[in-house]
């Protein structure tokens, strides 16, 4: 059986001003806003409490992050509560590019490109003529990054990848084979800010490895209250 980590966490970055204003971020490098900075501290503490402090059999946390600032800051909050763990930035876990639509408000896109916007909302690729990265390409580079990092350590290690909403959704659908059932990538919604996915391994009879979904859109308990989005 191949060497692999004990579990994988895919963590979405905290809130930004673009999230709050319903603007497509894509690969625009937008920092966390004040709410996002508070959110990632809560998520860091929750991850440590649930999966580090209560799991003495896992002695190491391997932290990978997108090279965009909002994801890196979210990863840094977790590294800080662990006492300064090292971050490994990887452009392979960067957010999907929406091409010319990057940085534009959703309402603006709906007004300027009504037909293509509706196609995009209906998962019919209306964004593609504006230079957006194909969902399948996002999923493929995401799975490649997971395969590389998850086999770089053994079962004394958990892998944490801090990334973005579309990247997580499209990577997860590709990893689990949902893209073959639904090529439109409409089966998994984007997660809330500063929430996470947990994946557990299964060694297959032919000597391979599969990852199974254990948790999706999991967040700290306080995320289920009005405090999560309160302005700060």
**Catalytic (active-site) positions:** 13, 95
Asked whether the beta carbons of 25 and 163 are under 8 A apart, the reply is no
Nearest to 22 by CA among 117, 131, 88: 117
Compute and round to an integer the Cα radius of gyration of the chain.
18
Hey, what are 188's tokens?
């998994």
Q: Which strands sit side by side in the sheet containing 87-89, from one edge to the other?
A: 87-89, 60-65, 157-163, 7-12, 196-203, 209-218
Q: What is the Cα–Cα distance from 156 to 25, expressed in whole angstroms?
A: 36
């Amino acid at each position: 059986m191949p060497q692999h980590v004990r579990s994988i966490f895919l963590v979405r970055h905290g809130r930004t001003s673009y999230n709050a204003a319903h603007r497509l971020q894509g690969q625009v490098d937008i920092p966390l806003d004040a709410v996002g900075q508070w959110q990632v501290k809560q998520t860091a503490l929750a991850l440590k409490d649930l999966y580090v402090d209560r799991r003495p059999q896992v002695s190491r946390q391997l932290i990978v992050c997108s090279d965009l600032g909002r994801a890196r800051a979210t990863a840094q909050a977790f590294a800080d509560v662990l006492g300064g763990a090292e971050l490994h930035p990887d452009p392979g876990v960067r957010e999907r590019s929406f091409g010319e639509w990057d940085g534009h408000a959703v309402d603006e896109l709906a007004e300027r490109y009504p037909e293509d916007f509706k196609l995009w909302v209906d998962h019919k690729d209306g964004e593609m003529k504006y230079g957006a990265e194909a969902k399948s390409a996002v999923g493929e580079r995401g799975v490649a990054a997971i395969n590389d990092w998850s086999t770089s350590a053994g079962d004394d290690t958990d892998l944490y990848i801090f990334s973005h909403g579309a990247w997580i959704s499209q990577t997860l659908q590709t990893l689990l084979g949902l893209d073959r059932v639904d090529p439109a990538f409409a089966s998994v919604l984007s997660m809330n800010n500063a929430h996470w996915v947990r994946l557990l391994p299964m060694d297959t009879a032919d000597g391979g490895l599969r990852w199974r979904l254990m948790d999706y859109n999991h967040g700290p308990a306080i995320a289920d209250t009005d405090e999560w989005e309160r302005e700060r």
